[in-house]
Chain A
């Protein structure tokens, strides 16, 4: 598996391509690309069967180790690839350590060990244990074990520790990777730690240089502790970090971020040169019963940025979530029906919203790539930014209604 940058591209934004997968030579995926976030290999609310109704294009499943730890024995006996184990051998896979849609607990650090908070409690992973799992999973790509436990308010001491551990863990993992026969073709993404301290980021990159030839991509780790808060991170705060990392890496390396970044920030990250994202934002939206419907095309009329299907005003609204959308949910089901399903707590409500959100996110990334090709990504950014401002106004208004004295 390899990553190539479109030679005609400038450094940022840029177009690239992931291809030459071990048993899927016909697949070729364009970047900027969004991984399908899963838990235990399942997209939340959407089975692989339903995924086929959303898209037939090749996709990469993002599978967090934390959601797979319970299979550490079974996967050994299974002796197949993780894609098949989780029920979708047509998909490619990328193993990550944490689940970007859930807040990762802070603290609990130990030398050369990373705490993973599974549903049955804390498990400490060292590089050996981690790499043994990776060898059992046989994914197409994976992120090396790291200490990503930093955010905007992390003190310098924590940042220094994170850099030190991450460098040490990645070295240990790469040593095992080099020796591994099954991982010979597997794509390695190394985490860059260092929180919001530019010096530390630089240091981390420098220390990893000696292994650069074994690393095909870098993850800008330690920007946040995952979960829904990522949506509200201000881009101005992360920009210096992203710029520094992107400028200091060899241009032929894939650059990834993780987490529920808002679509507007995704555009900004693309403009800064980030190639790889995930759909954890779709889960965050769906859990709050929201469907994204912002307009992307210049001539498209925008009704809203997102709509919340729990609101009583949708009870008798028999339009689809988004008129003109070709997803399965919008083709056959109304806002009123989805509102009903949510009201009576039926599973299909979230299924339908998630179908639309995933479909829409994939469409959004296609649009981003088209805009890069056509050189008009700024127009898309303006269009999305205007609608995002309206959402914030709406949210403020809703807050006033909630806080004010409204008789019920």
Chain B
């Protein structure tokens, strides 16, 4: 690497001439990541029964782990003694950790946000009050050792209309960013990403971005979305943020991972995504297809001798019929492994297809065909039609 002190090098490899879609190569301490990238979520330092050996052979370059969960169990002491999460879980490709703040606010009813941090009642037996401060979040994330770490942000639900509270969260998030950067111990091996806040208010998003871009960070995350707001509001904010953020740094849209959302947001210029859905849904027998998803538990598959997806080259599709999978899903743990493998392979294939089409100059056609397969009756949702229109794609 040319600059050994920089833990993230982002090179643009290609750009769509019509939309804002782009292909990049992001070099991180644990290897390269081709963007746009989807990062599956391995909450507790593992991904639904899959061995890291399997994930590597599928071509997975980066996965996400959750700071809140890992900080609780196995806890920071064990992780320190283990030499960090990469070693602990035997994963030598890249990792990204969240700050833990979102998990707390969404998982714990009693979380309360003050200037100092997020106060919550611990899940341990004593039920004592614990405070997650920006400093503490970074301390845990430094111990975990992920290649990309997230600042602690002041999370406000997108459905809360109180603008004063949202404005406060924008300013506080920037103050917390400074506190995070100040205590970050490993700037040469770990990248800290700020989180753009401001929910659905354009002026607040502008303010948040204007403050964050001055901090000399290596990439940005768009937070405070996919929290129940309407899709018509959602895409406009993504569009605005990708316009305002510097285009020489990766942009990460948090919590987005449904196939059509990925296609649209790539067109809007996003580089990184994560979502628990593809791996979580495998447990319930759901397999992802380009045209939607199927639940293999359903009796319609009992005698279906096709693979889940004949175009998929994952081991599950190469070796098993839907009929066979129907008989074991939700009954044997291995069935969950098999569906997880397919669903992760699906997400990787979708992103690879998007990158290839951008590089080949066929991205617009790809998006048109992709959407027309999902909506053969051309009954496109307004947000898909409008968002793609904003980047000059007219649906067929």
Contact = CB atoms under 8 A, between A and B. Distances in A.
Interface of A: 39-40, 42-50, 53, 70-71, 73-74, 77-78, 85-88, 119, 315-316, 318, 328, 332-334, 336-337, 339-341, 343-344, 346-348, 350-351
The 4 lowest CB-CB distance pairs between A and B, nearest first, are A347-B49, A332-B90, A87-B319, A74-B323
A88 B45 CA distance: 29
B277 interface: no
Contacts of A74: 302-303, 305, 321, 323-324, 326-327
Contacts of B69: 344
Given A44-B333, A334-B82, A341 B46 contact: yes
9 contacts: A47-B337, A47-B341, A50-B51, A53-B51, A71-B324, A85-B324, A340-B73, A340-B78, A348-B50
A241 to B, nearest CB: 34
A49 B305 contact: no
Which of B47, B54, B332 has most A Cβ within 10 Å? B332
Given A49-B54, A74-B321, 4 more contacts: A50-B54, A73-B302, A78-B321, A340-B78
B328 A47 contact: no
A101 B170 CA distance: 58
Given A73-B302, A333-B90, A316 B78 contact: yes
Interface string B49-88: 1111110000000000000010001100110011000001
A316 B77 CA distance: 9
Nearest to B338: A47
B112 interface: no
A223 to B, nearest CB: 27
A343 B72 CA distance: 11
A336 B79 CA distance: 10
Nearest to A355: B51
Contact of A347 (B45, B77, B336): B336
Interface of B: 44-54, 69, 73-74, 77-78, 81-82, 88-90, 302-303, 305, 315, 319-321, 323-324, 326-328, 331-338, 341
Contacts of B303: 73-74, 77
A316 B73 CA distance: 12
Contacts of A332: 52-53, 90
Contacts of B336: 347
A348 B320 contact: no
A48 B51 contact: no
B327 A351 contact: no
Contacts of B73: 340, 343-344
Contacts of B334: 42-47
Chain B, interface SS category: helix
A180 B324 CA distance: 26
Contacts of A336: 74, 78, 82, 88
A348 B46 contact: yes
A68 B82 CA distance: 43
Contacts of B302: 73-74
A315 B78 contact: yes
B354 to A, nearest CB: 27
Given A49-B54, A53-B51, A328-B53, A315 B46 contact: no
Given A316-B78, A347-B336, A53 B53 contact: yes
Contacts of B51: 50, 53, 328, 348, 351
A357 to B, nearest CB: 15
B48 A347 contact: yes
Contacts of A334: 82, 88
A343 B69 CA distance: 12
A347 B337 contact: yes
Contact of A316 (B52, B81, B305, B328): B81
A40 B89 contact: no
Nearest to A329: B51
Contact of B49 (A39, A343, A351): A351
A53 B78 CA distance: 28
Nearest to B325: A87
Nearest to A40: B328
B49 A87 contact: no
Contact of A119 (B88, B305, B324, B331): B331
Given A39-B332, A40-B327, A85 B81 contact: no
A68 to B, nearest CB: 8
Contacts of A73: 302-303
Contact of A71 (B320, B327, B338, B341): B327
B48 A71 contact: no
B143 to A, nearest CB: 14
Which of A39, A77, A340, A351 has most B Cβ within 10 Å? A340
Contacts of A49: 54, 315, 341
Given A344-B69, A350-B333, A42 B328 contact: yes
A339 B75 CA distance: 13
B328 A340 contact: no
B45 A87 contact: no
A39 B331 CA distance: 10
